Amino acid sequence: MDGMSLLKRIKQQRNLHFMVLPGMAWMLVFCYVPMIWLVISFKEYDITKPMWDSPWVGLFHFKEIFSDDRFWGVIKNTLGISFYKLIAAFPIPVIFALFLNELKNIKFKRTIQTISYLPHFISWAIFGGILLNWLSTTGLVNNIMVALNIQNERILYNSDPRYFWWIAVISDVWKELGWNAIIYLCAISGIDLNLYDAAHVDGAGRFKKMWHITVQSIRPTIAILFILAVSNVFNGSFEQIFVIRNSMNLPASETIDIFVYNMGISQGRFSYSTAVILLRSVLSLLFLLMANYASGKLTGESLF
Amino acid sequence: MSNVLKRFICLKLAVLLTAALLAGCAQSAPKKNQTEGPVSEKAAKTSEDNKVLDPDVPGWKLDTSPVTFKWFLDANWYKYEWNTPVSRYVTEKTGVTINFDVPTGNPNDKLTTLIASNSLPDILSVGFWQPNFKKLMESGMVYALNELADEYDPYFYKVAGDATLKWYKQPDGNTYCMPNEAYTAAQMEETGVTNANQTFLVRKDIYEEIGRPDMRTPEGFINALQMLKESYSTYKGRTIYPLYVQGGNSTVGCYGLEEMLMNFLAIPYEKDGKVYDRYADPEYIRWLKTFRRAYEMNLITMEFFVDTAPQVEQKINNADYFCMIQEWTGVAASIPSMSKDDPDIVYMAVDGPSNSRLEPARVYAGSMTGWLPVFISKNCSKADRAIRFLSYWASEEGQRDFFLGRKGETWDNIDGKDQLKPAVVNDLNTLSFDDFAAKYGAADTYWMLRNPVSVYKWRPFKIPALQQMVDWANEHADFSSGYVKELNPSGNSPEGIAFSKIRSVWGQTLPKLLTAGSDEEFDKLWDDFIEKRDELGFDIVQEYMQKQLEVFKEKLEN
Amino acid sequence: MDSMGKARGKSRYYPTSLFDICNVAIMLLIGFSTIYPVWFIFVNSIAGADEALTTSVNWWPKTLYLGNYLAVFKDGGIANAFLISVLRTVTATFIHIFFTGMVAYGLSKKYLAGRKIYMLIGIVTMLFQGGLIPTFLLIKNLGMYDRFIVYIIPAMFNFYNLIIFASFFNSLPQSLEESAKVDGAKEFLIFTRIIIPCSKAVFATLALFVGVYNWNDYFMGVMYIDNDKLRPIQTVLYKIVSESAASVIQQQAMEALGKRISPDSIKFAAMVIATLPIVLVYPFLQKYFVKGLMMGSLKG
């Protein structure tokens, strides 16, 4: 389109633009102004001096990051845990919502719905404590495994890097299952009931309806949330990992957030930790754009 | 209606944009010009009557008009306020009222924002381990205490002591902070009161039943654990865990298996004036291998690396561990709980792992480093009163006022000794400390400038089981080791970064060493670690440590 | 009842099958495993101090003890903090969902000129953040520090929520608006008169998300509030918990061997007190999830 018609269109749509612009202004103030601060990743920032007075150091901090061989282990763990979560923790709430929707007793359905979302309100500090009690040698998991003769000896589960990713993923599903399902339940509630009736007349069975009507109707929601989840793969959930990691599972449990915390924040290295965070943001943006493109091609759903 | 809204939105947009721009400018504008001025500028204003001050006269007596200080505490758990009988007494005497600024959440985060926005309160207590601690001294945002003392209160030198001022003296010749909870070597030697708390503890009843085995040698240690495993893996109805090591839940090493164990083995920090690599000492490796063997033989578990603090606390409350490499302060609070049914269920300090010459342990005794050193910020408009208040608190009189309270009310000279009245001691023992603090405000309610050695003589006695541990630690205290906490580099200097990287690698290596399948595997892991350590810049760390060693040894000697 | 319609509709189609039995069994298992941690926290918050210090209560405590709750309520500011939390949550949530919803409606129109640029601007804010220091300075410079408004304005918009809104608005049938447009209604009126009533489910969902966020947030109260009277309940409880946790440190430091409350139990008690009000909101909101809302509006 040429410039003239664009201007014309904007003028035509001015009412819509007046609805959008306040949001843009808000973001300008509360997001973009603080974002100026990201330039300290190219500086050596000292909190006792004004930010612009600190010296420029170019890509020094980024070189430092890439020359640290622990960084690659950190990337591996972060992506590993996120990948497990995309495969397991992303679809389970969808399935849960679908099955919940099939319950016939409305009271039972509401009760389960409410109960399942409760663990979301428990902080990781407390939830992690319960989890680690269950995983200890005298804990529930060992008691069950020994009673069922699956294992002979009591295992210190949380000491073994091999188990760690699974512990992280399963506990995350356990805690957030009900909460994450809310959005799908909301989407399901918007489905036109006539569609089911029509399908019934066509002789569709239960699973057919589940797949062809329910899943297809909430597909846009699933696609959008999946794109957002992909952009989130570089954010290891700090609070969770911080609680359940220890020196024995460290080879599998050191994620970007922990790395930033250890190498930057706890030592007051603001520029360095900001550089890691900036790098992570850039990578996240790339992932989001890729996922958005792929989703647009495959499912027809995209953010823009 | 939509027109009204439209106008409203336009207006709001304009306001927000302006605000954003303003904010952007405000941030980038230089902001801290008033902090740069030297002390004397302000001094000229505040002390018009510039007469010569007598170093023997307490400065705080010169002016007791009311003044209020806001005092930042790097302790988000502190909950007592300046409204107790003791604080009222102090206010009455000095005119000073304190308004404690206790952060919620992470104190260091709060301090960071206070520094970055240049809004420090009048006085600050900041932990020596915080990244912001050194920052404060370099920031130009706090007064040099020696300059303030020269100007307003020469008496400060008398009570703060040379040692204190020297310890935190910066290369620019100034001292910016004054530690609380600090121990000078001279005071420790004179009084026998130390901060030593590193102990090897065993559960008394079991230890005696297996015949008080000698656990100083690897053979004896393994032997004792073997006896435990054979006959006492459950005892008095509970599962017994063979060993606990303090600090295992850290991911950058394990305090109990490093500093404490090395101190038990009497490994020196220096040899012939050169800083000594304690990790490479054969005695240390010999004991790590002993632990490895004990693990291989199923005599100990690695639970101490995995258990969370509450899990450990529960086990200690139940006395579930047979032996512990643990500071006695960490079990003190648990003794009533573990021995409430059976007085024999209690821990005692014994000689644990020792070097092959069976030399006695040399544990850390305490130093001038202290706990939360105190700063006076340049935002304090009454710096003269602040420095005088610090010297008041640091003086014997201040120590007594804060610990004992007002004479005749909470304390008296009984049997020729200044002490709390029996009724007060009884309350200290029976009330919760919160209630005690609210009722009296004495004892340990206010510790911001407490001198532990000075107040020791006023403390009521301890329970015997604890006293045994205290005595053991005091007997093995190494008074010459005051500098050791100052050796490790920190912050974002090259050596600080190298050091933290080495710590991280070590944190991963240590559990692997103990769980290695054989001594050969152990050696291989060890060699890998040493190689990695050199690669990460161990030499610059050593250089820094050497420099610190020289600086602080000199400070100790004079 | 409309809300029963769907369920009744289904049972009309099928008799109870093996699938239903398995489904109920799985749901019971999930229900049990998710309620257990909550139960654990509750029973440990009412366990006697001795018991809590030496063991974890799994089902029911041997002795009941309400001292943890008393310890929390002993702090006189709780009632005020509760009021602040309610005020803050209600105001901020209402403004947030209205404001974000409005922007989202504008952006949900695929034909909007410059939509891609707007979206990109927004997406960047989800992924790039300035951090603690600049945000603190911004709040200070805007004059919001230590004022109630700091709970409202900085929390009135979120692009993630906008995306969820927009994807729902997109799925609304075009016919809804077209009739209004024919009548000459402006977009803002369409949004308030037609879109909001037809999107109760998404508004309820996001009100829940935002409400829970606002209620649970203690950080604003930590970072930007000095005045005790303006602290929300989560900040106050956070403070009580950290004080209790460290009274152990302090007691160790001074070798006082008095009675003490197990810090974990007080943490649990604080959690129960702080989350109970917000947890109770969900069952209330659930009615907006069950109805076929759009259906109702289309038919009616």
| Domains of chain C with bracketed CATH | 69-299 (1.10.3720.10)
Give phi and psi for B161, each to the nearest 5.
Answer: 85, 145
Class of domain A68-124+163-298: mainly alpha
Which residues of chain B does C50 touch, with a Cβ-Cβ cutoff of 8 Å? 337, 340
- The rounded distance, in Å, linking the Cα atoms of C117 and B406 is 71
pLDDT tens for residues C224-279? Answer: 998 889 999 999 888 887 776 655 445 444 433 334 445 677 788 888 988 888 88
* DSSP character at residue B175: B
Instruction: Looking at the complex, report in whole angstroms how far the Cα of residue C141 sits from the nearest Cα belonging to chain B.
Output: 6
Do A186 and C103 make contact, defined as CB atoms within 8 angstroms? Answer: no
Residue C172: which residues within 8 A CB-CB, separation 6 or more? C195, C198, C199, C294
pLDDT at C13: 57
Residues B517-543: what's their mean pLDDT? 96
Per residue in B159-192, pLDDT tens? 887 778 889 999 899 999 999 988 888 888 888 8
Q: Do B112 and C133 touch (CB under 8 A)?
A: yes
Q: C221, C235 in Cβ contact below 8 A?
A: yes
Taking contacts as CB-CB distances below 8 angstroms, the residues of chain A near B117 are none
Residue of chain C whose Cα is closest to the Cα of B334:
C257
Cβ–Cβ of B504/A262 closer than 8 Å?
Answer: yes
- Which of A161-175, B43-57, B255-269, C1-15 shows the lowest mean pLDDT across its residues? C1-15
Give me the total of CB pairs closer than 8 Å, taking one residue from chain A and one from chain B.
134
Q: Is C156 in CB contact (< 8 Å) with chain A? A: yes
Nearest-by-Cβ selection for C163 from A31, A120, A228: A228
Q: Taking a C-beta distance cutoff of 8 angstroms, is the pair A169, A81 a contact?
A: yes
The 10s digit of each residue's pLDDT in A201-233 is 888 888 888 888 899 989 989 999 999 999 999
Please check the confidence at residue B347 and state whether its pLDDT lies above 70.
Answer: yes
For residue B237, the cross-strand partners are none
In a mutagenesis test of the A interface, which of C34, C151, C262 is the best target, namely the one with the most A β-carbons within 10 Å?
A: C34
Which segments of chain C does DSSP mark as H helices, in order?
Answer: 5-13, 18-45, 49-54, 67-74, 78-108, 115-127, 132-141, 159-171, 175-182, 187-190, 196-198, 200-216, 219-223, 233-254, 263-279, 281-285, 287-290, 293-299
Cα–Cα distances (Å) from A253 to A238, B255, B422, in that order, read 11, 21, 54
Q: For position B13, what pLDDT does the model report?
A: 45
**The pLDDT value given to residue C9:** 46
Residue C262: predicted pLDDT: 55
Strand partners, B70: B99
Task: Supply the pLDDT for residue C211.
Answer: 94
Q: Which of A9, A31, A41 to mutate to test the interface with C (most CBs of C within 10 A)?
A: A31
Under DSSP, is residue A269 helix (H, G, I), strand (E, B) or coil? coil
Q: Please return the burial class of B475, using the count of CB atoms within 10 Å of its CB with bins 0-12, 13-18 and 19+.
A: middle
Per-residue pLDDT of B255-300, as tens digits, reads: 999 999 999 999 999 999 899 999 999 999 999 999 999 999 999 9
Chain A stretch 272-291, residues whose beta carbon is closer than 8 A to a beta carbon of chain C: 274, 277-278, 281, 284-285, 288
C-alpha–C-alpha distance, residues A294 and A223, integer Å: 10
- The owner of tokens 């009739």 is C179
The token pair that represents A34 in the structure block: 């603080």
H or E stretch covering B241: strand B241-245
pLDDT tier at B464 (50, 70, 90 boundaries)? confident
Q: In what order do the strands lie in the sheet with B241-245?
A: B241-245, B321-327, B198-203, B347-349
- Cβ burial, residue B520 (10 Å; 0-12/13-18/19+): exposed
C252 to chain B: which residues are within 8 Å by CB? 329-330, 332-333
Q: What is the DSSP string of B136-170?
A: HHHHT-B--HHHHHHHH-THHHHHHHHHHHHHTB-
Kindly give, in sequence order, each residue whose CB lies less than 8 Å from that of residue A129, ignoring residues fewer than 6 positions away. A243, B308, B310, C264
Binary contact (C113, A186; C-beta < 8 A): no
Compute how many other C-beta atoms are within 10 angstroms of the C-beta atom of residue A228: 18
Can you tell me the distance from the alpha carbon of A93 to that of A96, in angstroms, rounded to the nearest whole number?
A: 5
Q: Which CATH superfamily, name and number, covers B197-364?
A: Periplasmic binding protein-like II (3.40.190.10)
The mean pLDDT of A6-27, rounded to a whole number, is: 90
- The SS3 of residue B244 is strand
pLDDT at C87: 96
Cα gap C75→C77, rounded to integer Å? 6
Domain boundaries, chain A: 68-124+163-298
Q: CA triplet B381, B385, B391: central angle to 5 degrees? A: 135
Query: Are the Cβ atoms of A106 and C30 closer than 8 angstroms?
Result: no
Domain ranges for chain B = 46-185+366-484, 197-364, 487-558
What lies within 8 Å, CB to CB, of C202 at 6+ separation is A186, A190, C164, C165, C168
Which residues of chain C lie closer than 8 angstroms to A113, CB-CB? 282, 286
What is residue C156's predicted lDDT score, i.e. its pLDDT? Answer: 95
Q: Token digits for B436?
A: 């005690």
Q: What does the alpha-carbon distance between residue B111 and residue A48 come to, in Å, rounded to a whole number?
A: 11
A residues 240-279 near C, CB within 8 Å?
270, 274, 277-278
Cα dihedral across residues B139, B140, B143, B148: positive or negative:
positive
* Residues of B with Cβ-Cβ distance to A247 under 8 angstroms: 248-254, 305, 507-508, 510-511
Interface of B with C in 272-331 (CB under 8 A): 310, 313-314, 317-318, 329-330
**Higher-confidence position of C290 and B396:** B396
User: Mutate which of A38, A48, A127 to test chain B, going by most B C-beta atoms within 10 A?
Assistant: A48
Which chain B residues touch C246 with a CB distance below 8 Å?
A: 75-78
Is the distance from CB of B377 to CB of B117 less than 8 angstroms? no
Mutation target for A interface from B142, B258, B500, B508: give the one with most A CBs within 10 A. B508
Amino acid identity at C160: Y
3-state secondary structure of C234: helix
- Convert A168-195 to b/e letters by CB count within 10 Å (16 or more is b): bbebbbbbbbbbbbbbbbbbbbbbebeb
Residues contacting A192, CB < 8 A, separation 6+ = C292, C294, C295
Per-residue pLDDT band for B26 (boundaries 50, 70, 90) equals: very low
The secondary element (H helix, E strand) that includes residue B245 is: strand B241-245
Query: What is the per-residue pLDDT across B107-158, written as a single tens digit (0 to 9) for each?
Result: 888 899 999 888 999 999 999 888 889 889 988 999 999 999 999 999 999 8
Cβ-based contacts of B506 with chain A (< 8 Å): none
Decide if A122 touches C, using CB distance below 8 A.
Answer: yes
Q: What per-residue confidence (pLDDT) applies to C16?
A: 74
3-state secondary structure of B431: coil
Task: Give the C-alpha separation, C300 to B241, whole Å.
Answer: 70
Q: Which two tokens stand for residue A255?
A: 């994620």
How confident is the model at residue C14, as a pLDDT? 63
What per-residue confidence (pLDDT) applies to B29? Answer: 39
Supply the pLDDT for residue B523: 97
Find the mean pLDDT for residues B404-408. 93
Is residue A192 very low, low, confident or very high in pLDDT (cuts 50, 70, 90)? confident
B340 against C136, higher pLDDT: C136
Q: Is B33 on the interface with C (CB under 8 A)?
A: no
User: With a cut of 50, which residues of chain C have pLDDT below it?
Assistant: 1-11, 248-249, 251-261, 292-300
Separation between Cα atoms, residue B376 and residue B140, nearest integer Å = 11
Are the Cβ atoms of C290 and A102 closer than 8 angstroms?
A: no
Name which of B31, B249, B302 is nearest A50 (Cβ-Cβ): B31
Contacts of A26 in chain C (CB under 8 A): 99, 156-157
Which positions in chain A touch B311 (Cβ < 8 Å)? Answer: 132-133, 136
For the residues A113-140, what does the mean pLDDT come to? Answer: 90
Q: What is the mean pLDDT of residues B332-346?
A: 84
Inform me whether the pLDDT recorded for B522 exceeds 60: yes
CA Rg, chain B, in Å? Answer: 27
| B61's tokens | 């007596």
Same fold, B46-185+366-484 and B197-364: yes
For B476-505, how does the pLDDT look when each residue is reduced to its tens digit (9 = 90+)?
999 888 888 889 888 778 898 899 889 989
Q: Give the number of residues written for chain C.
A: 300
Q: Rounded to an integer, what distance in angstroms lies between the CA atom of residue B115 and that of residue B113?
A: 5
Determine the Cα–Cα distance for residues A210 and A196; give it in Å rounded to an integer.
9
Of residues C184, C186, C179, C183, the one with CA closest to residue C105:
C186
User: Given an 8 Å threshold on Cβ–Cβ distance, is B77 in contact with C242?
Assistant: yes
Q: Which residues contact B474 (CB under 8 A, 6 or more apart)?
A: B192, B193, B194, B196
Both tokens assigned to C167: 């994807």
**CATH code for the structural domain at B46-185+366-484:** 3.40.190.10
Handedness of CA C266, C268, C270, C273 (dihedral sign): negative
Chain C residue numbers touching B26 (CB-CB < 8 A):
137, 141
d(CA A159, CA B392): 52
Confidence of residue B558 (pLDDT cuts 50, 70, 90): low
pLDDT at C246: 56
B241 contact residues in A (CB cutoff 8 A): none
- Tokens encoding B159: 């009570």
Q: Model confidence at A36, in pLDDT bands (50, 70, 90)? A: very high
By the 8 A CB rule, do A187 and A180 touch? no
pLDDT of B233 above 70: yes
- To the nearest whole number, what is the mean pLDDT of chain B? 87
Distance in Å, alpha carbon of B210 to nearest chain C alpha carbon:
26
| Closest partner CB to C103 (pick from A20, A33, A130) | A20
